Every structure is written in structure tokens, then in C-alpha cells.
């Protein structure tokens, strides 16, 4: 099988011989772009490719802008941005407006759940609404480019940026990533509330070895094409205005220098005509990655690969000018990059409206924004356990113990990547529960630990005492925000600090425990959940995490989240994910666990199957799993035709009945398995989902349409993606395990 490496090597060879990228067919603003380009000096062209941080050497920034050396500025907004914009528009020779960028990853001022939490909602409409709110708030202070959505598929909870991801599945990431693009960009980029989205990090950043940030991604062509690229193709097809390079290499080729990714694939094969920005310093880092020896070479590789803008490497400017004059870079290559930058500025209407109006009433934290944040936080919570229906709390509860370092942590509940957030606006679980309980239910609050990493046990007795005085315990644990995000990888994904000890000691009080986990990743909480009657996984839920959790705990809302990523029992199981390949010796229920192995057992006595001796082969919780306060019964799966023709489609449906006593939302999931192929195929793959609200006792018929293109996979032999005829299994169910099964055959 030809690995992606040889494909990439081919593109390395072509880098030196690069011919300028032929401009795509005439597009919007082509006349304006060409007219302006024709007036620009080489130095001014290169200035448009320079993206500087507004906090960097602020005293010289204005001069650089005035001299035409800066095209975009990140990390400043409001009047500061307007001041820089005035210099660009009114004092530089050509008056080309600046593009202001910012990481608006899950909200600007109103903070939504981290993207991993949003993914648990499986609710595209709500995610789009949340991204729209983020765009309205950010654009109101001049931000018109955000470096989001992050659509790196990852199977590794050790990776700090799993918090920013939409989970382990390419199909789910594709659909939710497109929802974010639509929300951020709106219907028309010239609308002042629209901000250009940025599909990042292209590519394979989520597949780095060891879950360690910035590390090497050494993956097959199949993994690249079947799991890594689809969300980016979906974003490109959805009109995502920009892409960002990733820090990692892919099989020896740093993404930021990959002509294969940014020219051959993105522009030539996908016909995408947007603007590419490097990641922070990533052009300069090509030298650090031992891919080249000089910054001149870094500049040559970056611009020839098709990376239009250099974020903070200070390589394109000032080095490209001499490189063009020395004939080492064609000016036509620079011209194409400048076209992509200018086109985006015209698309955003920056030439007509370069400034933000800071005199208008603030749109931050508007009631409808907070309401959207609460809805998304509510639907992002996953009910993992609910023994004896301890949840929702009923009227016979007269006192609750609210315990744990995350119960009243306004900074921590916001999660990573929320530079503009203001924790004073966070509504914590303690605040929301206090509001909810009023004088009806007594709250006994005891923090137990000062923060998630706290090893001190001095406050644990007071927490135990609070539990003893209460009918039920609400125990809020998890991770401080700083423990996930960029460069925050963990080799141990258990609860930090003495939180497990806190749970153990509180459990001795003998009261039912509702464990609420607020974290930036899956945590190995198996032992802790055994001591608790109920478990709500809330991720970092944002500004309105508290009211969302209070409504769920007291039953005003019914949990509907489903896991967007597999939860391992132990970190040693990683990578463990639902759509794994079928192996030659699968484990079954006859495995012998380490604790049960007889002393002096014979070498062959444990059989020969694939599992871990300590924990078996199953995860703690599977992808797609999530409970409800009601129950849903799946019946009567049917297929419209047992044969699917290459030019046709078939429908598959089943009945879903709410067999409980309260309304509930259920994410009905469609999985397909290619029973055999010219390459081994996964045990099943998510190919559809629908979130439906069903009243008690009612039945919904949920139907999906299957077409051959949904069944395709990458063929290394010819580098193409297509389906193969043959038998397919199909399931409709409530998670990636089990479900109603049927089958069909794909025929010519
Ligand atoms: C960071 C991140 C990237 C972010 C950029 C600007 O290093 O990798 O996702 O958008 O720099 O902050």
C-alpha cells in the first residue's frame, strides 16, 4: 500500500519547480482585486501577507502599518483596532484596510460550552445559533476573522486540544463544523456581523503521536483521506472563507510547507478559492523541524506551498522581497497570495466599512445570547448513569450538599480558548442552585478542595459533614480550565488532585451522590462513578453552565447529550475508538482479567484474543452513548430495498417510542458496515443522526436515506475515494453499540 509519504514526497519534488498557481475562473471582486494589485509595489504586496499580533511591539506596529508592511492584525479590537485601521486606511499609500483576527472558538463575551461539549449536543441548529451569537459579539468590536472552527478529528483524550475538537468521528465533525462555519459567516460576508471562519488545523493535528501537542503525525493515506480530510472538505464545500495550517508534520512533510495539501488538494482538486493563513510562527518553525536550514527557505516553502499569510513568523516580510528580486520566488506566486487576501477583504466589505462603531450599545451578554448559551450548555450535558432514578431531584428532597472545587469556579467552567470572557458573568452551579432552591431546599455548601489540583485534604471532613446533613449530594469535580487546550497534554487523564479521595470520603456519609464532571476531555472516572448514583458529564459548559445544570438536576430539563468521543477505562487503552477495524482475533466475553489469572497459569491458558489484561477490551463509555430521564424503545427497522444501485438510493427507518413519563430528545444514530472490501473496513461508521423530541407514549418514525457516495473509502491503489459493491450491515440505535440491525447490498 503506497503510504501518504510517497504522495507527499512527490509534492516536495514539485515545490522547487513550482509553477505559479493559475488563477481560478473569474470570481467576485476580480476586477477590483486586479485593479488594486496593479498599483501595488512588491513591498506592498508582501505587506499584505504579513499577519502580526496587536500586542507585539505595539510602538512600531503603527509605523509598519503606515509603511504598508502589515495586512492583518490579530488580538486587538475596539478603539485600539480602529486606531490601527485609521493608520492603514488614511496614512498608508494605498489605504488598504487591515483584517482583524481573533480566536473566537466557543464564544466572544457570552461563552458557550467548549466545542467538545457542543459536539455532545448533536444539535447543528443550536451550534449554528451559538456561532452566530459569537460572530455578532466579536464583529461589534471589529473582529472580522476568527480562527475557528477547529475540525481536527482526534481519538486521543491526552491531547489538550481535544477540548477544542468536535470529537473522534469524521462525519459528526463534518456536520457540526459546517454548522459553525454557517453561524460565523452568516448568509453574506459583507454583513457587518459576519466574520470569516477558518477551518483548522490543516491537517492531521489531532493524530499526533502520544497525544502530545505539536508532535509528529505518521498516518496512512487511508487514515488521512477517510478520517482527517472529510471535515475540511465539508467546510470548503460550505464556503469556509479561510484555512489555517497545522504545526505538525504528516509523514515527514510539515503541513505548513505542504504543496500537496494547500495547492494540489485544497485549490486544484477541491476548487477552493479562499485565503490560507499559517499558524502562529509555523513558517519560521519549518527550520526548527529540520525541514530547512534558513528562514529564506522557510519563506520559499511556505509561499510556494500556497500558504498566503504568515502569522507572526516575520519571514514573508521582510525576506520575500529579496527572494523575488533574486528570482528564487516568482512574483506571480506572491500575486496569487495577495489576490486571496484582497478578495477576502472585499468579500468582508472592509473597503467600504473598515471601522467598528464602538459608540453603539454593547451587544455583549444580550438576554437572547445568554438564553442560547444556556440551551447549548443544557444539551451538551451527557447523563452517564442514573441509578434508581435519583435524578431529577423530586419535591421530597429538603436539603442538598453542594460540594467540590468546580461547584463555584467561574473561571474554570468557561474552559480553554476564551480570551475575551469575563468570569464575573459566569453563573456557577452554586449560584444557580441557590437561586433554584430559594427557601424551599436547604443547601449545605462545602468546597472540599480549593481547586481541581488541590492535594490538601484539610477541608474534606467539612464536606463529609455537609453530606451527612443532607438528603442528597451534588458533587462537582473535573479540571481547571488551564489543564486543557493548546500545549496542555496529560499523560494521566484521571481526576487531578485529591478529588478521588474527596469522592471516597463523601461516599462514606452514605447519601446518594450525583457526580457532575466539568472537564476539557474524557477522564478515567470508572472507579469514582461506581460510588455515585448518578453521573452528569458537563465538559466546560461556559457562562451559563450553572443554570443549565440546575435545570437538569431539578428536572426542568431532560438530559439529551451523547458522547462525541469514546471514554477509556484507563489511559493505557488510548487510542480506543468506536469505528475500529475488525481484527483477526477479537476478544469476547470469555477473556480472563488480570485479577482472575491463576498463579502459575500456563502461557496458553488465557487463549489468544485482543484485550488489555487489566480492563478487557471495552471502553468505559462508547461513542454516541447518553441516557435520558425517560426511555426510548427502538422497533421495526426496515429497508426500502435490499438492493442499492450505484445510481440510486434506499431508505432505512425504524420506530422510536418514548416509553417513559416525560418528554425527551433522542439522537437517533445510523451506522453502516461494509462487510468486506479491497481494504479492511471498520466495524461500523456513523453515517447519519437525527435529534428528535418525542412526547411520553408517542412514537416517531425516523428515516435515513443511504446513497452510494456515503459508502466510499479511499483506495491507495489509485488515490481515489469510491464505494465497492457488496453486502452492508446497517444499524439504527441510540449509541455506537448495539441497535436494530438490517442489511442491504450495493450493486452496479
Ligand atoms: C495558536 C493556535 C491556533 C490559533 C493561533 C492564534 O498557536 O495553534 O489555533 O488560532 O495560534 O492564536
Q: What pLDDT digit, counting tens, does each position of 27-58 carry?
A: 779 999 999 999 999 999 999 999 999 988 77
pLDDT in tens, 285-301: 999 999 999 999 999 99
- Report if residue 670 sits inside a domain: yes
| Predicted confidence band of residue 505 (pLDDT cuts 50, 70, 90) | very high
Cell numbers found for residue 589: 466475553
pTM for the model stands at 0.96
| 31 vs 611: CA distance, rounded Å | 62
Average pLDDT over residues 586-608: 95
The answer to whether 684 and 728 have CB atoms below 8 angstroms apart is: no
Marked catalytic residue, from 103, 169, 226, 279: 279
Does residue 298 belong to any structural domain of this protein?
A: no
Whether residue 12 has pLDDT greater than 90 = no
**What is the Å distance from ligand 1's center to 370 Cα?**
26
Q: Phi and psi (nearest 5°) for 469?
A: -85, 0
Pocket test for ligand 1, best of 51, 100, 147 (most atoms within 8 A of CB): 147
Residue 729 forms part of a structural domain: yes
Tens-digit pLDDT profile for residues 367-377: 999 999 999 99
What pLDDT does 66 receive?
Answer: 98
Burial 485-520 (b: 16+ CB within 10 A, else e): bbebbbeebebbbbbbebbebbbebebbbbbbbbbb
Predicted pLDDT of residue 28: 79
Q: Which pLDDT does position 367 carry in this prediction?
A: 98
83 alpha carbon – ligand 1 mean position (Å): 24
Annotated catalytic, 279?
yes
> How many angstroms does the Cα of residue 703 sit away from the middle of ligand 1?
40
Residue 654 lies in a domain: yes
Per-residue pLDDT at 27? 73
Q: Is the CB of 557 under 6 A from ligand 1?
A: no
Is residue 13 pLDDT above 50, yes or no?
no
C-beta of 53 in contact with ligand 1 (< 6 A): no
Is a pLDDT exceeding 50 seen at residue 559? yes
The pLDDT of residue 55: 87
What is the grid cell recorded at 196? 470569516
Name 361's Cβ contacts closer than 8 Å, sequence gap at least 6: none
Task: Taking the CA atoms of 566, 569, 574 and 575 in sequence, report the sign of the dihedral they define.
Answer: negative
- CATH number of the structural domain spanning residue 686: 2.60.40.10
Q: Give the pLDDT band of residue 1 (cuts 50, 70, 90).
A: very low
200 lines ligand 1 (CB under 6 A): yes
How confident is the model at residue 171, as a pLDDT?
A: 98
Asked, for residue 351, whether it belongs to a domain, the answer is: no
Tell me, in angstroms, the distance from the centre of ligand 1 to residue 53's CA.
11
Q: Is the pLDDT of residue 21 over 80?
A: no
Would strands 699-706 and 650-658 be described as parallel, antiparallel, or unpaired?
A: antiparallel
Atom of ligand 1 nearest to the CA of 147: 10
Closest by CA position to 143, among listed 107, 95, 91, 90: 107
Whether the per-residue pLDDT at 17 is higher than 50: the answer is no
CA of 279 to the centre of ligand 1 (A): 6
In terms of C-beta density within 10 A (0-12 exposed, 13-18 middle, 19 or more buried), how is residue 90 classed?
exposed
**pLDDT, tens digit, 9 for 90 and up, residues 432-474:** 999 999 999 999 999 999 999 999 999 999 999 999 999 999 9
Whether 113 shows a pLDDT value over 70: the answer reads yes
Range 518-528 average pLDDT:
98
Q: Which domain holds residue 731?
A: 632-747
The DSSP symbol for 109 reads S
Residue nearest to atom 7 of ligand 1 (CA): 280
At 5 the pLDDT is 35
**31 CB contacts (<8 Å, ≥6 apart)?**
none
What pLDDT score does 158 carry? 98
Q: What is the pLDDT of residue 58?
A: 79
Q: Is residue 721 in some structural domain?
A: yes
- In a domain, residue 334? The reply is no
Any ligand 1 atom below 6 A from CB of 280: yes
Phi-psi region of 301 (alpha: psi -120 to 50; beta: other; left: phi over 0): alpha
Q: Is 486 in the pocket of ligand 1 (CB under 6 A)?
A: yes
- Predicted pLDDT of residue 703: 98
Confidence of residue 344 (pLDDT cuts 50, 70, 90): very high
What does the buried/exposed string (b/e) look like for 237-268 if buried means 16 or more CB atoms within 10 Å of the residue's CB? ebebbbbbbbbbbbbebbbbbbbbbbbbbbbe
Per-residue pLDDT reduced to its tens digit, 180-204? 999 999 999 999 999 999 999 999 9
Mean model confidence pLDDT for the chain: 95
Count of the separate structural domains present in the chain: 1
Q: Distance between CA atoms of 341 and 277, rounded to whole angstroms?
A: 10
The reply to whether 123 falls in a domain is no
- 662-707 confidence digits (pLDDT tens): 999 999 999 999 999 999 999 999 999 999 999 999 999 999 999 9
Amino acid at each position: 500500500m503506497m503510504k501518504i509519504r510517497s504522495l507527499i514526497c512527490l509534492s516536495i519534488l514539485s515545490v522547487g519547480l513550482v509553477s505559479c498557481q493559475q488563477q481560478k475562473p473569474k470570481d467576485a471582486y476580480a476586477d477590483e482585486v486586479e485593479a488594486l494589485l496593479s498599483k501595488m509595489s512588491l513591498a506592498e504586496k508582501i505587506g499584505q501577507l504579513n499577519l502580526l499580533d496587536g500586542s507585539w511591539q505595539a510602538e512600531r506596529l503603527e509605523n509598519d502599518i503606515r509603511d504598508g508592511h502589515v495586512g492583518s492584525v490579530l488580538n486587538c479590537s475596539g478603539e485600539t483596532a480602529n486606531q490601527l485601521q485609521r493608520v492603514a486606511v488614511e496614512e498608508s499609500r494605498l489605504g488598504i484596510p487591515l483584517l482583524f483576527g481573533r480566536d473566537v472558538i466557543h464564544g466572544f463575551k457570552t461563552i458557550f460550552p467548549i466545542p467538545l461539549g457542543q459536539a455532545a449536543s448533536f444539535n447543528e441548529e443550536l451550534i449554528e445559533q451559538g456561532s452566530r451569537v459569537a460572530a455578532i459579539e466579536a464583529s461589534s468590536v471589529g473582529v472580522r476573522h476568527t480562527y475557528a472552527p477547529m475540525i481536527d478529528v482526534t481519538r486521543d483524550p491526552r491531547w489538550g486540544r481535544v477540548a477544542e475538537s468536535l470529537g473522534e468521528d469524521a462525519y459528526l465533525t463534518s456536520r457540526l463544523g459546517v454548522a459553525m462555519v454557517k453561524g460565523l459567516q452568516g448568509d453574506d460576508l459583507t454583513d457587518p456581523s459576519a466574520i470569516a471562519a477558518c477551518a483548522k488545523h490543516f491537517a492531521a493535528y489531532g493524530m499526533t503521536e502520544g497525544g502530545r501537542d505539536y508532535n509528529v503525525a505518521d498516518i496512512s493515506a487511508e487514515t488521512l483521506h477517510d478520517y482527517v480530510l472529510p471535515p475540511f472538505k465539508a467546510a470548503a464545500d460550505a464556503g469556509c472563507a479561510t484555512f489555517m495550517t497545522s504545526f505538525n508534520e504528516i509523514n515527514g512533510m510539515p503541513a505548513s510547507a505542504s504543496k500537496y495539501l494547500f495547492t494540489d488538494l485544497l485549490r486544484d482538486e477541491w476548487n477552493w478559492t479562499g485565503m490560507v493563513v499559517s499558524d502562529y510562527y509555523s513558517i519560521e518553525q519549518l527550520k526548527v523541524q529540520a525541514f530547512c536550514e534558513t528562514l529564506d527557505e522557510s519563506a520559499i516553502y511556505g509561499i510556494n506551498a500556497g500558504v498566503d499569510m504568515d502569522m507572526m513568523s516575520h519571514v514573508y516580510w521582510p525576506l520575500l522581497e529579496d527572494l523575488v528580486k533574486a528570482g528564487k520566488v516568482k512574483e506571480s506566486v506572491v500575486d496569487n497570495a495577495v489576490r486571496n487576501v484582497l478578495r477576502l477583504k472585499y468579500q468582508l466589505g472592509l473597503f467600504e466599512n473598515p471601522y467598528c462603531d464602538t459608540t453603539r450599545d454593547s451587544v455583549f451578554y444580550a438576554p437572547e445570547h445568554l438564553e442560547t448559551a444556556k440551551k447549548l450548555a443544557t444539551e451538551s450535558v451527557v447523563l452517564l448513569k442514573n441509578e434508581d432514578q435519583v435524578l431529577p431531584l423530586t419535591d421530597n428532597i429538603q436539603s442538598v450538599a453542594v460540594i467540590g472545587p468546580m461547584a463555584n469556579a467561574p473561571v474554570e467552567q468557561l474552559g480553554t480558548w476564551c480570551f475575551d470572557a469575563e468570569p464575573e458573568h459566569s453563573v456557577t452551579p452554586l449560584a444557580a442552585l441557590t437561586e433554584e432552591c430559594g427557601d424551599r431546599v436547604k443547601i449545605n455548601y462545602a468546597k472540599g478542595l480549593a481547586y481541581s489540583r488541590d492535594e490538601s485534604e484539610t477541608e474534606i471532613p467539612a464536606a463529609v459533614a455537609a453530606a451527612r446533613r443532607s438528603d442528597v449530594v451534588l458533587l462537582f469535580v473535573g479540571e481547571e480550565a488551564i489543564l486543557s487546550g493548546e500545549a496542555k497534554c496529560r499523560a494521566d487523564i484521571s481526576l487531578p488532585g485529591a478529588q478521588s479521595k474527596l469522592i471516597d470520603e463523601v461516599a462514606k456519609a452514605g447519601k446518594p451522590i450525583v457526580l457532575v464532571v466539568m472537564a476539557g476531555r474524557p477522564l478515567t472516572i470508572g472507579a469514582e462513578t461506581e460510588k455515585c448514583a448518578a453521573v452528569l458529564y458537563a465538559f466546560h459548559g461556559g457562562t451559563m453552565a450553572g443554570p443549565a445544570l440546575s435545570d437538569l438536576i431539578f428536572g426542568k430539563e431532560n438530559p439529551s447529550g451523547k458522547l462525541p468521543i469514546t471514554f477509556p477505562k484507563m489511559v493505557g487503552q488510548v487510542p480506543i475508538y468506536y469505528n475500529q477495524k475488525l481484527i483477526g482475533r477479537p476478544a469476547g466475553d470469555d477473556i480472563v482479567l488480570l485479577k482472575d489469572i491463576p498463579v502459575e497459569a500456563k502461557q496458553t491458558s488465557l487463549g489468544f484474543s485482543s484485550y488489555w489484561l487489566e480492563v478487557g477490551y471495552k471502553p468505559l463509555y462508547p461513542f454516541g452513548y447518553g441516557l435520558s430521564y425517560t426511555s426510548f424503545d427502538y422497533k421495526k427497522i426496515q429497508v426500502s430495498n435490499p438492493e442499492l444501485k450505484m445510481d440510486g438510493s434506499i431508505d432505512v427507518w425504524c420506530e422510536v417510542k418514548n416509553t417513559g413519563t416525560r418528554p425527551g430528545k433522542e439522537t437517533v444514530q445510523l451506522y453502516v458496515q461494509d462487510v468486506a472490501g479491497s481494504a479492511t473496513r471498520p466495524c461500523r461508521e456513523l453515517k447519519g443522526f437525527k435529534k428528535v423530541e418525542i412526547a411520553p407514549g408517542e412514537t416517531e418514525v425516523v428515516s435515513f436515506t443511504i446513497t452510494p457516495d456515503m459508502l466510499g473509502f479511499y483506495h491507495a491503489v489509485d488515490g481515489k475515494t469510491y464505494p465497492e459493491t457488496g453486502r452492508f450491515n446497517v444499524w439504527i440505535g441510540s449509541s455506537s453499540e448495539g441497535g436494530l440491525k438490517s442489511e442491504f447490498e450495493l450493486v452496479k
